[in-house]
Homo-oligomer: A and B are copies of this chain.
């Protein structure tokens, strides 16, 4: 992979990559809609690829949906990483991640749908999605900014609150996502020992990628 002398990928290899990506995208759409109990032909039709090509990439539907879930997690992490790259304070960064995830539920409905339906395992405190909040929480604890006795319990509370905020936004289409995300983030900061005034200040900071709004 890092062999700089390698030949460029052949047309066949390029097509394989495109076919797999189309299948994963179809899997993501079905996951977001909660429609995983479908025939393989529904998936290949949606991906606009041949029925037989499914089995060149995945042994089972479960394998496709696992790949689609993992890809969604990577997309969320990459988006948060890019948007919060400039934030250096761990508490502000922790808060910025939560405020962005809260907004994501409404602004990236497909990713939100996958999160809501994939269940608790995707948000395990040991998983990829929780690596950023984990690092910032531990960093904030070390600097005495968070008063948290059990970081894993705090991360579990964080993951769950942000997940169920998404369900609340889905249940209440008129609820403002930004207001709700900032309020949930203030509640969590308060629960982790940040005083109310400081939590208020942090959750009113301009948010990266939000046009300063």
Are A157 and B171 also in contact (CB < 8 A) when A37-B36, A120-B164, A164-B163 are? no
Contacts of A124 in B (CB 8 A): 167-168, 171
Determine chain A's interface SS by DSSP, over half rule: helix
Distance, CA A207 to CA B127, complexed state (A): 33
> Contact string, A178-192, partner B, CB cutoff 8 A, digits 1/0?
001001100110110
6 A-B contacts, Cβ less than 8 Å apart? A156-B164, A156-B167, A156-B168, A157-B161, A157-B184, A163-B163
> Contact string, A57-83, partner B, CB cutoff 8 A, digits 1/0?
000111000000000000000000000
Contacts of A167 in B (CB 8 A): 120-121, 123-125, 156
Top-7 shortest CB links A-B = A160-B160, A160-B164, A156-B164, A120-B167, A191-B191, A116-B120, A157-B161
How many residues of chain A get a CB closer than 8 Å to chain B's CBs? 42
Set B36, B152, B184: member contacting A153, Cβ < 8 A: B184
Copies per assembly: 2
Distance, CA A168 to CA B152, complexed state (A): 8
B164 touches A123 (CB 8 A): yes
B191 touches A190 (CB 8 A): yes
Closest Cβ of chain B: how far from A99's Cβ, in Å?
Answer: 14
Does A7 reach chain B (CB closer than 8 Å)? no
Distance, CA A114 to CA B182, complexed state (A): 31
